[in-house]
Amino acid sequence: MTRELPRPLFQMATRAWHVSIGWKMSMSIPDLCRVTEEDDLYFYGSWVVGMGAFGVKFPKETTRDLTEAEAEKLSRASFRMTNGLAWSYTKDELLNSTPGESR
């Protein structure tokens, strides 16, 4: 059973699977993901960059906090969907809290 996190967490992940269709959605290098739920083995959320897929599960063993340098770099980026919707994140949002706070 999954538990909703008190607030979304930003993490860097390499391995992932789409929850409803079971597709492997792994990356060769860590990429930004936003997680909103967890269980003992997985975080659940979406890729933010790259594939941008929703409904994804990320193994905790291959998911980690962002480094200061990664958060700084990504805080200067803008993200855009194909429909034109755009957004960005601050460094503080990206560094938010550690997953350990929610467990």
Residue with tokens 């059973």: 1
Which token pair is 84?
A: 């034109």
Using DSSP bridges, classify how beta strands 3-13 and 42-47 pair: parallel, antiparallel or unpaired.
unpaired
Q: If phi over 0 gives left and psi between -120 and 50 gives alpha, with beta otherwise, what is residue 56?
A: beta
Stated pTM of the model: 0.80
Q: What is the pLDDT of residues 42-57, one digit of tens each?
A: 999 998 876 667 789 9
| CB-CB contact of 81 with 52 (8 Å) | yes
| CB-CB contact of 34 with 9 (8 Å) | yes
Q: What is the pLDDT of residues 13-29, one digit of tens each?
A: 999 998 887 778 787 89
- Report how far apart the first and last C-alpha atoms of the chain are (Å, whole number): 14
